[in-house]
Structure 1
Amino acid sequence: MLKIDNLNVFYGGIHALRGISINVEKGKIISLIGANGAGKSTTLRTIMGLEKSSEGKVEYEGKDITNMKTKEIVKSNLVLVPEGRRIFTNLSVRENLILGAYLRKDKKIVEDDIDWVYSLFPRLKEREWQLAGTMSGGEQQMLAVGRALMTKPKLLMMDEPSLGLAPLIVKDIFDIIKRINDEGVTVLLIEQNAKASLEISDYAYVLETGKIFMEGKGMDLLNDEEVKKAYLGT
């Protein structure tokens, strides 16, 4: 579904991505794990056209989207939930969700999809008309995911969805990611919570200073001694 081949990205004189290659199969959950500065967010931003690559190729559903404009990429149902949520704090929950569907013309189905998002996140339904900026961090993260789902993504990319959240809310977020995937949405996930991420992943890549250091099935990496020592604190 998504193929990255020999991707290289520079920030000034810094070689941020060093020839990485990643394959995201349709219907799977794929994770990128690694320390801060490893190149995880840069990878997602480059896929979305927010950063330019100097070399390499990004292919989505058989089409070359390398350095394509972001708005064109979103039209192809490839969507990013950015780190830090980036919700519209001065708008209500419902207004944020409606803005997520701004490219869509099927207004009746949009209403059905709002109900679907509320079924995934009942707390958002309870706060439908509350200003998003007055909600807790966990509720705002739920809204960020819900807004992205309103685009009807085929591939949903998520950048640190559990960052700064209480452990109980983190569990809820990962349960929802699994449920979204069960309903047919492919997921590419970046997480510093390596354990939670690997537990739900079909396949994962370990990034280290801009390179793929290791890859394998999620559960295999979860049980790998090197990964345990470096990323799981054991």
Structure 2
Amino acid sequence: MGRWMKVLKIEDLHVYYGGIHALKGISMEVPENKIVTLVGANGAGKSTTLRAVSGLVPAAGGRITWRGEEITGSKTVDIVKKGITLVPEGRRIFANLTVLENLHMGAYARTDKEEIKKDINKIYEMFPRLREREWQAAGTLSGGEQQMLAIGRALMSRPKLLMMDEPSLGLAPLLVKEVFRIIKEIHSQGMTILLIEQNARAALQVADYGYVLETGRIVLQGPGQELAANAEVQKAYLGRS
């Protein structure tokens, strides 16, 4: 990781959820224009990590810095304005609003109307299905279309770091492939991505670097391909003995 410019740095982060010590002093870095993935079983602390970076759960200890500036304890809206956006698990789109209204919600912190229009067109180029369903209520979309909308809405804030929590969860295998194709495409345009994914094999294949979390601690880290080839990782997460 030494030669890459780090934009996000987490140092000795502790988070409690109710009475549970969910993160027990994790340290990790996300370099600019790279894809970093967090791999681990359910309850390992992956989502908590993203929620802590977003300011959705408070840190009990440690620090989070973004481009050298400490953001631990900052409000979520201020973190979004700095360029960090989360695509939450379960998509969380506004079901009663149309596709277009959902995209506008992603740009709520922006005032550049002409640029917003251009960005909506870019999203429609990336996801033609959304253009076809522009005036449809988002709740009537299929699971795959809702995931595309959730990603599109996040991109509308023009993030510098896109954090994605389980983007392929609950999708059919063909759509999982499509989601990973989209992740690669967004990354190829210069986006830095922090990815959590139940599908560890697919995540490690696209990731430049990965971290393995077990019950709130990082137990392994390394380049994505290296972790994918690691016997312990294969046995625990890739279904190979």
Aligned to 2:61: 55
Q: How many Å separate the matches in 2 of 1:100 and 1:51? A: 21
* Residue 126 of structure 1, aligned match among 109, 125, 132: 132
Q: How many Å separate the matches in 1 of 2:109 and 2:26? A: 32
Note the alpha carbon deviations across 1:16-50, whole angstroms, 9 max, x for none: 10110010000000000100000000000011111
Structure 1 residue 72 displacement after superposition: 0.7
* Residue 84 of structure 2, aligned match among 72, 75, 78: 78
* 1:157 pairs with 2:193: no
* 1:228 pairs with 2:209: no
Q: Secondary structure, in 3 states, of the residue corresponding to 1:49?
A: coil
Q: Secondary structure, in 3 states, of the residue corresponding to 1:20?
A: strand
Q: Secondary structure, in 3 states, of the residue corresponding to 1:163?
A: coil
Structure 1 residue 154 displacement after superposition: 0.2
* 1:116 pairs with 2:122: yes
* Residue 75 of structure 2, aligned match among 51, 62, 69: 69
Aligned to 1:186: 192
Structure 1 residue 12 displacement after superposition: 3.0
Aligned runs of 1:1-234 on 2, under 5 Å? 1-234=7-240
**One-letter amino acid of the counterpart of residue 162, structure 1:** S
Q: Secondary structure, in 3 states, of the residue corresponding to 1:214?
A: strand
Structure 1: gaps spanning 5 or more residues: none
Q: How many Å separate the matches in 2 of 1:66 and 1:98? A: 28
Q: How many Å separate the matches in 2 of 1:200 and 1:158? A: 13
Q: How many Å separate the matches in 1 of 2:90 and 2:40? A: 18
Determine what percentage of the aligned residue pairs are the same residue.
Answer: 62
Q: Secondary structure, in 3 states, of the residue corresponding to 1:164?
A: coil
Structure 1 residue 13 displacement after superposition: 2.6
Q: How many Å separate the matches in 1 of 2:113 and 2:225? A: 41
Q: Secondary structure, in 3 states, of the residue corresponding to 2:36?
A: strand
Q: Secondary structure, in 3 states, of the residue corresponding to 1:3?
A: strand
Q: How many Å separate the matches in 1 of 2:77 and 2:118? A: 24
Q: Secondary structure, in 3 states, of the residue corresponding to 2:201?
A: helix
Q: How many Å separate the matches in 1 of 2:77 and 2:134? A: 27
TM-score by length of 2: 0.96
Q: How many Å separate the matches in 2 of 1:117 and 1:12? A: 38
Structure 2: gaps spanning 5 or more residues: 1-6
Runs of at least 4 residues off by over 3 Å = none
For the aligned residue pairs, the C-alpha RMSD in angstroms reads 0.7
**One-letter amino acid of the counterpart of residue 211, structure 2:** Y
Q: How many Å separate the matches in 1 of 2:165 and 2:40? A: 12
Note the alpha carbon deviations across 1:43-89, whole angstroms, 9 max, x for none: 00011111111110000011100011111101111000000111011
Note the alpha carbon deviations across 1:131-182, whole angstroms, 9 max, x for none: 1000101100000000000000000000000000000001000100111011
